[in-house]
Amino acid sequence: MNQTVAAANGVDIPQLGFGLYKIKDGGTFERTVEEAIRMGYRHFDTAKIYGNEAALGRVIQNSGIPREEFFITSKVWTTDLGYRATKKAFEQTCQKLNVTYLDMYLIHFAGPQYVNAWKAMEELYDAGKIKVIGVANFEIRHLEHLKKHSRISPMVNQIETHPEFPQHELHDYMVRHRILHEAWGPLGQGSKALLEHPELVAIALCHQKSVAQVILRWHLQRGIIVIPKSSNPQRIKENKETFDFELNEKEMEQIRRLDTGKRYSVSPNGYMVNPFYINLMKLFIRSH
């Protein structure tokens, strides 16, 4: 079972997806995605920078399941922002995935030229090549700036979100502007401290569920799209079993109070000068 949420244009997006960040091309990747498909996952989230678009395309093609049953997301990387560069990057992504359209395409970060990149995405959307256009790692100021320079508002914003960093202010802003909230790192990137938090453990025991399932359920009840990732078959199965129970208002409030305001990753503000991203870009360019 999987439920959907509707984008502003009416397109249904499976609320539970499967993230592919750091799952590299190769035997492990193929086995992982094959297992996810077998478990019923149809929404897969990749990106140019992940280096596994072609591998995902091969597994989907070999699955024997019609393309239209899948919801495929990819993202344009910072070095490809700009009108012409984004159109070229989109075509390359489609070639790697061996598809004629994407269900969702996102700007990975609000780097230079993101407004011109968005204009290219609007045209690709108008041409029917992308069903849902959106962004990732955008703050309110980025969304406001884009709104002033676009015909079509972003339909989705994929951002770091977990119980210790629930993004309340940004979440409320997106609800008001009909921008769907998609969480990357929804389980706190596997944080041991988070997954062993006493309050979460207590809630999990009440429902006879794991802490991970409770966290995913909390996201789902907030109306958030989640893309947990795992190469462990048991966890892949467990993450799927989040639609057969519900957290009550008291439990939702308990989890809400876990907010520490602490990111587990780096802030997208000023990321262009952050050594982490500079090194990531250098590695990507060298490997391609």
Distance between CA atoms of 72 and 41, rounded to whole angstroms?
11
One-letter identity of residue 263:
R
| Residue 108 annotated as binding site | yes
Which residues, 6 or more positions from 267, have their beta carbon under 8 angstroms from its beta carbon? none
The 10 Å Cβ neighbour count of residue 34 is 13
> Which residue in 50, 105, 114, 125 is the catalytic one?
50
Distance between CA atoms of 24 and 38, rounded to whole angstroms?
20
Instruction: Check if 50 is active-site.
Output: yes
Distance between CA atoms of 39 and 37, rounded to whole angstroms?
5
b/e map 178-211, b = 16+ CB within 10 Å = ebbbbbbbbbbeeeeebbebeebeebbeebebbb
Report the catalytic residues: 50
Known binding positions for substrate: 108
